[in-house]
Structure 1
């Protein structure tokens, strides 16, 4: 690793909210750097190829930079293009494929260690989202090659027996796409219905497919064990074995709580694991360490989105600006 690199502000996470924070820093001519462990907007990059956002394009805009899409609700590729253009046209400072290992508070600054460098910064903003750590089923066989916690596209599941676990937007989208590409789809759902937060134009579709028998669904059920050629599930009517080629377990994702804890940020102990921060300034219980975006919700990953957390960038930079003026 190189010698310590000094910056005024380190932004951890190169998603839309990290980009928004960088734009605010650039306006103020601060010496900032985004550090992103994957590709630019890595979470969006890992979304399904055909995903369509729930929101309209203007609600995904940052810093009032127009987001023009072909349809009222943009898709994944349009979002990638938009945030890439915003980043490159504004010449934002960003290091990609560099993983933050630790954030340590010193007497007057922070020491940030990554897979490539050592940094020192007066202020740190963590906006790492929640898409990198899947919620595991914790059942035997989950590590088999046929099991995935991410869904990209349907082609490879054509003519295969596929179990989709979950009933959220991602699970419903995957089930419908795989069925339309010729996969034999069975959904295993812990609750008694399809999720109420599923996109309003998609929810009737999946319900109709289930009711007509095109897609099988076992509600109030869960996987007990995954085997090479079948899956054992627990249902209201007892345990049963289902022939299976692939399991697509879309049961949700978690923030990087280890990074928060190692940084000294406290989280609630009520099961929601919500980090401690000031909702007006976004500053955590660690002075000069801020949170922005989805990570603010802890396990409540449905609470914050691009649409309602864009404002965090201004809240944070205005608070830092006030401190600098003192």
Structure 2
């Protein structure tokens, strides 16, 4: 039986940071990733630009070199996948973890085989499961919970749900490719978290009417050729529609966390962990990165959760 000191679930930036820290401390480790390396970043919009500068996205003090003031999706993929190659990270891609059981050691069942480990680090992020609207018609093919690029929506009537960075980027890009864009927004204004160089652009497009926006509104139903929503006066409206981009956010895999024994607390489903060492209520299972925030997916991100790798590995070493 091959026994690992650390088994890391998730091969994104924070999972890689944990692997690098384990390797530096001569721990036997493996990373299991259900998709490609940095899979969540791979599924980001093609032309996405990070809010953070490159230095804030670095892991293990490895320089993130780019000529741009703020890196984009492709820059980040080159950086993180390049680290995996150059540092010879022990990672298995396209191998989904199905179940984790504990006896003397952790037994980890994947889509391909079974592994054994003394400790588990869960660094699975949150980009896998869309935050569903739970309305009639959400299962129609015209409804998309992920946005890649604007070209399929040229000259189409597109409804964008939400006012976060992803919603605003989609609305602006589609508008500039000839799409007729309507935004349906629950709040009274565009989100304050929208990138500062983008926020004036969307606000001006709404002000001039080239992008229509309904604030304090709620989508009620999606039909094959229209949508029905409630406006800020509580009245229902129906407009013609070809596509709906539901940029309503994403959630961690709470069922997986519960199935491996992690306690979830409150309405936000906050996983239980010790902030000093990131260990959960299950001895030997640690959390790292965005997954720590539960439903509050804006609490943790790459630049403020890089420290988790050092915290976790330090604690694991102290127990040996």
Give TM-score, length-normalised by structure 2.
0.98
SS of the counterpart of 2:271? Answer: coil
Counterpart CA distance in 1 for 2:183 and 2:36 is 31
Counterpart CA distance in 2 for 1:147 and 1:70 is 36
Q: CA deviation at 1:5?
A: 4.8
Counterpart CA distance in 1 for 2:2 and 2:145 is 36
Match of 1:97 among 94, 99, 102: 94
Q: CA deviation at 1:8?
A: 1.9
Counterpart CA distance in 1 for 2:67 and 2:92 is 31
The answer to whether the aligner puts 1:184 opposite 2:193 as a matched pair is no
Counterpart CA distance in 2 for 1:204 and 1:313 is 37
Aligned to 1:292: 288
Counterpart CA distance in 1 for 2:66 and 2:209 is 36
| RMSD value, Cα | 0.8
CA contact (8 A) 1:5 1:118 kept: no
SS of the counterpart of 2:273? Answer: coil
Aligned to 1:167: 163
Aligned to 2:218: 222
Counterpart CA distance in 2 for 1:6 and 1:165 is 47
The answer to whether the aligner puts 1:49 opposite 2:46 as a matched pair is yes
Aligned to 2:26: 29
The answer to whether the aligner puts 1:68 opposite 2:65 as a matched pair is yes
Match of 1:248 among 237, 245, 249: 245
SS of the counterpart of 1:70? Answer: coil
Counterpart CA distance in 2 for 1:179 and 1:5 is 55
CA contact (8 A) 1:10 1:35 kept: yes
Aligned to 1:135: 131
The answer to whether the aligner puts 1:208 opposite 2:213 as a matched pair is no
SS of the counterpart of 2:264? Answer: coil
Extract unaligned runs of 5+ from structure 2.
none
Match of 2:141 among 137, 140, 145: 145
Counterpart CA distance in 1 for 2:185 and 2:100 is 38
Counterpart CA distance in 1 for 2:109 and 2:3 is 12
SS of the counterpart of 2:277? Answer: coil
Counterpart CA distance in 1 for 2:271 and 2:200 is 36
Counterpart CA distance in 2 for 1:55 and 1:236 is 34
Give the length in aligned residue pairs: 319
Give TM-score, length-normalised by structure 1.
0.96
Q: CA deviation at 1:307?
A: 0.2
SS of the counterpart of 1:156? Answer: helix
Q: CA deviation at 1:6?
A: 3.0
Extract unaligned runs of 5+ from structure 1.
none
SS of the counterpart of 1:320? Answer: helix
Counterpart CA distance in 1 for 2:67 and 2:134 is 41
Aligned to 1:120: 116
SS of the counterpart of 2:202? Answer: helix
CA contact (8 A) 1:165 1:250 kept: yes
CA contact (8 A) 1:229 1:245 kept: yes
Counterpart CA distance in 1 for 2:213 and 2:279 is 44
CA contact (8 A) 1:103 1:259 kept: no
